[in-house]
Amino acid sequence: MNKIRRNKVIKPDCLERNAEAWTNHYIKQRKSNNNYWNWHTDNYERVERILTPILSNISNFHCSYCGIYPLKQNVGGRSIDHFKPKSEFPELAFEWTNLFIACPDCQNIKGNNYPLEIEPLKPDSCHYHFDYWFEIDWTINKNYIIPNKDRNDTEKKIAQETINWLGLNKGDRPDVRYDELEKYKDSSVTDIWRWSYPYFLERG
Ligand SMILES: [Zn+2]
């Protein structure tokens, strides 16, 4: 998970003006239809179309969770994720700091889940630094992201639950990250932000 600097941009004006009304509307509509959702329009433009490029900018066009790059610009290649799911936290449905750009894979893994016992690590939090919370297990054929062994038990639990929640070691993800690292090492393209998983490549 890369660090995201949300303060690169100011809060979008459409949310500044409308978030409260849209949130109240959403909470009201959900009472009769649990699946109700609408991004609304602002000045004749769909709000998700306004927010997507801004959220992509603050994540440097990487998935905010797994770090895959580049997020495809077409429909289905990237979408806005509610860090705290709107089904469980409807009051945060239009909260600027709850919105992140994410790849379809991460959206599927997250779904409407949210850890019950801990507050997971948030990539735009001022307390979030990869090296503080995580390390990489370079054991052959592993390359898993694991909690930093120097942290206390509570912090290790937060790190591990975040890894589980976002599926950061799920399926072939560790292998895919390692393949990217090998390609990066052989390439003349040294700008780490032109690659997937910068947080992983930087430490490889
Ligand atoms: Zn992702």
Query: Each residue of 152-163: pLDDT tens digit?
Result: 999 999 999 999
Do the domain assignments include residue 1?
A: no
Q: How far is the CA of 105 from the centre of ligand 1 (A)?
A: 6
32-to-36, 38, 40 alpha-carbon distances in Å = 9, 14, 18
User: Looking up tokens 């179309």, which residue turns up?
Assistant: 49
Whether 197 and 187 have beta carbons less than 8 Å apart is answered as no
CA of 31 from ligand 1 middle (Å) equals 31
pLDDT bracket for residue 140 (50, 70, 90)? confident
Asked if residue 39 belongs to a domain, the reply is: yes
For residue 195, the SS3 value is: coil
What is the b/e burial string over 161-192, where b = at least 16 CB atoms within 10 angstroms of the residue's CB?
bbbebbbbbeeebbeebbebbeebeeeeeeee
* Gap from CA of 104 to ligand 1 centroid (Å): 7
CA–centroid distance, residue 152 to ligand 1 (Å):
28
The reply to whether 123 falls in a domain is yes
Report the distance separating Cα 52 and Cα 85, nearest Å.
17
Asked whether 202 and 3 are in contact (CB, 8 A), the reply is no
Question: How crowded is residue 57: how many other Cβ atoms within 10 Å of its Cβ?
Answer: 12
pLDDT in tens, 68-111: 998 876 556 679 999 999 999 999 999 999 999 999 999 999 99
Domain that holds residue 175: 6-201
Mean pLDDT of the chain: 95
CA 185, 191, 192, 195 torsion-angle sign: negative
Asked if residue 79 is part of any domain, the answer here is: yes
> Has residue 148 been placed in a domain?
yes
Distance 149 CA to ligand 1 centre (A): 25
pLDDT at 195: 97
Angle between helical axes of 47-58 and 13-32 (0-180°, round to 10):
120
What pLDDT, in 10s, does the model give residues 1-45?
999 999 999 999 999 999 999 999 999 999 999 999 999 999 999
Domain count, the chain: 1
Q: 1 C-alpha to center of ligand 1: Å?
A: 9
Query: 171: which 2 tokens?
Result: 């399926």
Tell me how far apart the terminal alpha carbons of the chain are, to the nearest angstrom. Answer: 15
0.85 cut: is pTM over it? yes
